[in-house]
A and B are shown apart, each in its own frame.
Chain A
Amino acid sequence: MATRKKVLLKVIILGDSSVGKTSLMNQYINKKFTNQYKATIGADFLTKEVMVDDRIVTLQIWDTAGQERFQSLGVAFYRGADCCVLVFDVASPGSFKSLDGWRDEFLIQASPSNPDHFPFVVLGNKADLENRTVSTKRAQQWCQNKNGLPYFETSAKEATNVDQAFITIARNALAQDTDVELYNDFPEQIKLSGSTENRSSGSDNCAC
């Protein structure tokens, strides 16, 4: 797989409302923090070129709305994700409990080809807060139980661990990407989307 073609890695950030998804993305890409970010509506993304083990890759980081009911509509954008970042707020036990739900939701909606080994990275954000309620140990335990997911405690506000976390995200996403390329050693353009048409005419045939 020594291809030198440009690699685009798609990263999706998921997590409860107000855990700091937008802030993390902006801290990583723009090195800026403000607590005035509005609640994200719909979806948006930012891109950044990074070096991962002497390869240049473009990270396309997708920020999403945290309220669950808005998830179903944005599914189209999650397809083909290379890595999923699950974020919770260390001062909000509820947001930590939601991680399971977010993970399952992603696997269902994005339906990656190898769900058991799809790279997730877990971030416990707002680590700068003093009133934290989710202990590091508890979070690590959860990650351990999920096939040993990488876990970082970050602070988007103080830029703690953010770069490190995203480098790991990029590296894991790249590993995933290469894996996929290995498995899918087909000539280009096998259009699966065309099959809907065949199917519909097929059903006509059988019934009429």
Chain B
Amino acid sequence: MDFAKLDEEELSYELKTRGIAPMNNVNEMRNVLRGLIKIEVEGKSLLATDSSVSIDVKSEVKTCVKKLQVINTMVKNIKGDRYSEHYRAVDAKLCHLMNRVDKLPAVEPQDRKDRSNLLKGILFLMRKMEEMAISTTVVETNTNTNDNTAGTGTVILYEKTTITDMNSTSENSGSVTSDEEFGTEYFVQQGVAIKSLSKLLKGSKRHKNDSETHYTGLLKIMKYKTAKFIEWKPTEMSIFPDADEWNIVDTDYKQNGKNKNDCNIDIKINLATMKSYKMKKHKKHQISILQTNGSLVTFLFESSPINDFVTALKTLLHTEKEIRHHRPTGVILVLSERQDSDPLCQSIKELKIFPDQPPTSTVWSFISGFQNNPVEKTYETFAKISDVLLTRTPDTRPDQEVAELLNRVEDDDEYTMVDHPPSVLPPRPVAKPRGNPLNQATFYQSMDNEGRILNPDNIKNIIFYGGCEHLIRYEVWKYLLGYYPWNSTREQRLYIDKLQAAEYERMKVQWMNMSPDQISRFNMYRDRKSLIDKDVYRTDRTLDFFAGDGNENLVKLHNVLMTYVMYNFDLGYVQGMSDLLSPILMIMKSDEVESFWCFVGFMNRVNTNFELKQTGMKKQLNDLHYLLTTVSPELENHLKKMDSSNMYFCFRWLLVLFKREFVHSDIMRLWEVLWTDIPCANFHLLICVAILDNEKDTIINENYGLTEILKHVNNLCERIDLDKALTTAYSIYEQLKEAQPSLQDSVNELLGFSLSHSDTILSSDSNSKEDDYEKALLMNYL
């Protein structure tokens, strides 16, 4: 601990706990303490273990809470990396607080509760600091991106009070204000909702099962002198949170955000800037409108049919169905506004021979031109017509990106996909051979004297390329699975062990203390327990570790899974979880506490695989299909022909992350690679693609159908060359990276290429979590 960073009160506390009376001089206290700590490092604890130092628990709790709050603000304001003065100061203070809370003689239940809350707070701040230390630079870029997003403003969106200001800067300045008064209502519809605005602003957020916030309001089409607008004003608000138990935090966050900012919004869309629209008549009617600037607005017709609105639009606009691959995509392209009722003007305008001039003047200039110089004018006009016919049409088609944006709105339709022409990728780079595994020496040398891992990224890199030596998996997995923060000191890790052991025991006791009588009236618990009982008995029994009757490790497997049920009762136990736990239990040398927390870390990565509605699995299969379409269009074509594009034959791979496909030694190597999140969080999908790509010729040449593909894939079990799969997957990643600009947004997003996007999401998500945590802290203590 760096005593230079502690204040007087803290120093005197540190002295008191070592049985020394505090002095008046701060520096003197520091010197004494430095001396003491040197002795302590050598192993002689000078800490007064008896309670000779009497502490008033209540006031001590108060002091600690205050300190926690101070540190919380300090953490927020940390500038610089982990070596900066600022960071080390906070670190020292946190260390001090940890000791202090640890020594709180909490006897009464209320004190114990306070103490445990304090500990949680400390642990949270520790993790937060670690994140900061890792991503100081990332955070900075994030703020920039956020600003950008707000600046470009995907929707014409402004507060009521500033309408006039905004209008004066818009294209139709001047006349608009007066138009407001004289405009005529062309179409009015009550009870039209608009889809969550945050979703609009961050279009890439589609994959999150976030709650839908809908704003109901009045939809109008207004005709003003110079332009026509689709206008929408909110009348009330309705929120439909998903019943998804894991997103409660997110929902809260959103609701708060909305109350602050999003209430007073109007939406105005100039018909002249409409590029295309798309309707959906699934459950609720909805229409998504895309503007030329790329912004997208979706209106939901909650009770009324959409037809009247569309008919109204069509009388004002010239439209055309978008056709791709001889099939309508459902997107309606807006060709132009129907400007005037004069039929001659209109047909001339439709020819788009004179794009720059208003139709009336076009007609007159054409007529006068024809009178003055008939031959020349005629040729000129014909030339322009052929120009239109030969070259103009593509302009009115939305480009691929735009089409995708439109189709993005469809995300609640599972498996809805657009046809995209197969993208031509650059040749795949030669697969790089795997590297050497992380060895003991490298691992321990990477720590500073206090046991912090100085460069976690470097360690992760080694693991990604070569895995870990078996000997150090017991240590390394705890970092990879988030049990130990990478920047934790030895001292802190001992502390975490202690804390988490207590927490585990607490939850374990909950189910162990359940009496048979109680259980008889607790159906949901019984179901979960009986599933675990059945699966433990048949998990990896062929491995020595679990073999034989009365094997103690089966009991441990059972205990950890049962405790997880108490940890996350809503998810409970789902088949496949025992597969995920088994290697962890082996590596953790049958230690229940460490296995449990590592398992929690693993589950945090994959728990959506197990949810009741299987949305996580559906999404992954869908994402896999996207990637395969890009990487191996021939295979994808074949799958489509064989009614297999739902990719269900990869279900087992994804549900338990290949656990059933590889032998035990391989699965450990594979998982540690995946846990590094290098090169992206979806690397496992690329491994799927790599394996399938390897089987491509067999599947296509043998003309395998739905069942044959499943059988073939199931039969690959324990016959896949892991090193080859890993290296191929990485070279596919590099290949895609090179092709990045031409890739679809969805693919870029999956692979984390579109940095600006993904960073925005990351930062906003973690921010919301932190905000919530801070809220919780304040509620506890203020």
Contact = CB atoms under 8 A, between A and B. Distances in A.
Partners in one complex: yes
Interface of A: 17-18, 35-39, 41-45, 60, 65-67, 69-70, 72-74, 76-77, 94, 193, 197, 200-201, 203-204, 207-208
A208 B318 CA distance: 11
Which are the 8 A-B pairs with shortest beta-carbon distances?
A18-B534, A42-B652, A42-B651, A36-B541, A41-B652, A67-B575, A39-B575, A69-B612
B538 A60 contact: no
B307 A207 contact: yes
B423 to A, nearest CB: 24
12 contacts: A39-B539, A42-B651, A45-B707, A45-B710, A45-B711, A65-B575, A69-B610, A69-B613, A76-B706, A197-B327, A200-B328, A207-B307
Nearest to B578: A39
B782 to A, nearest CB: 42
B319 interface: yes
A76 B648 contact: yes
Nearest to B610: A69
A23 to B, nearest CB: 10
Given A69-B614, A201-B327, A38 B648 contact: no
B432 interface: no
Given A38-B660, A201-B328, A204-B330, A67 B651 contact: no
A207 B311 CA distance: 8
B600 interface: no
A89 to B, nearest CB: 10
B643 interface: yes
A72 B648 CA distance: 11
Interface string B68-95: 0000000000000000000000000000
B531 A67 contact: yes
Given A203-B281, A208-B310, A208-B321, A42 B538 contact: no
B15 interface: no
A123 B327 CA distance: 49
A43 to B, nearest CB: 7
B576 A200 contact: no
Contact of A70 (B281, B332, B575, B714): B575
A200 B330 contact: yes
B478 to A, nearest CB: 27
B576 A77 contact: no
Nearest to B533: A18
B535 interface: yes
A201 B538 CA distance: 51
B655 interface: yes
A73 B614 contact: yes
B731 interface: no
A67 B574 contact: yes
B583 to A, nearest CB: 14
Contacts of A207: 279, 281, 306-307, 310
Contact of A43 (B542, B610, B710): B710
A41 B576 CA distance: 7
Contact of A208 (B314, B539, B542): B314
Given A17-B531, A65-B575, A200-B328, A77 B710 contact: yes
Contacts of A42: 648-649, 651-652, 655, 714
Interface in B37-55: none
A70 B542 contact: no
Interface string B633-655: 00000000001001011011001
Contacts of B539: 38-39
B282 to A, nearest CB: 11
A77 B707 contact: yes
A208 B575 contact: no
A73 B415 CA distance: 12
Contacts of A72: 614
Contacts, number: 101
Nearest to A46: B711
Contacts of B621: 73
A201 to B, nearest CB: 5
User: Which of B314, B321, B534, B542 counts the most chain A CB atoms within 10 A?
Assistant: B534
Contacts of B542: 36
Contacts of A77: 648, 706-707, 710
Interface in B672-720: 706-707, 710-711, 714
A88 B649 CA distance: 27
Contacts of B541: 36
A162 B660 CA distance: 28
A45 B281 CA distance: 39
A91 to B, nearest CB: 12
Interface in B589-618: 610-614, 617-618
Interface string B313-338: 01000010100000110101000000
Contacts of A197: 327
B345 interface: no
A44 B618 contact: no
Contacts of A74: 648, 651
User: Which of A17, A35, A73, A207 counts the most chain B CB atoms within 10 A?
Assistant: A207
A10 to B, nearest CB: 9
Contacts of B106: none
A66 B643 contact: no
B656 interface: yes
A196 to B, nearest CB: 11
Contacts of B534: 17-18, 39
A43 B644 CA distance: 14
Contact of A66 (B575, B614, B710, B714): B575
B331 to A, nearest CB: 10
B708 to A, nearest CB: 11
B618 A73 contact: yes
A72 B443 CA distance: 45
Contacts of B327: 197, 201
Nearest to B530: A94
Contacts of B575: 17, 39, 41, 65-67, 70
Contacts of B319: 208
Contacts of B321: 204, 208
A17 B314 CA distance: 56
Contacts of B655: 41-42
Nearest to A60: B707
Nearest to B542: A36
A41 B660 contact: yes
Contacts of A69: 574, 610-614
Contacts of B656: 41
Given A17-B535, A207-B310, 20 more contacts: A35-B537, A35-B538, A36-B541, A39-B534, A39-B578, A41-B575, A41-B656, A42-B655, A45-B707, A45-B710, A60-B707, A65-B575, A69-B610, A73-B648, A76-B646, A77-B710, A207-B306, A208-B310, A208-B314, A208-B332
B538 A37 contact: yes
Nearest to B717: A44
A130 to B, nearest CB: 18
A66 B576 CA distance: 12
Nearest to B531: A17
Nearest to A67: B575
Contacts of A45: 707, 710-711
Contact of A44 (B279, B281, B611, B710): B710
Contacts of B279: 207
A56 B330 CA distance: 49
Contacts of A37: 538
A65 B531 CA distance: 13
B330 to A, nearest CB: 7
User: Which of A41, A77, A94 counts the most chain B CB atoms within 10 A?
Assistant: A41
Contact of A41 (B306, B651, B711): B651
Contacts of A208: 310, 314, 319, 321, 332
Nearest to A62: B707
A87 to B, nearest CB: 14
User: Which of B279, B539, B575 counts the most chain A CB atoms within 10 A?
Assistant: B575
Nearest to B654: A42
A171 B575 CA distance: 34
Contacts of A39: 534-535, 538-539, 575-576, 578
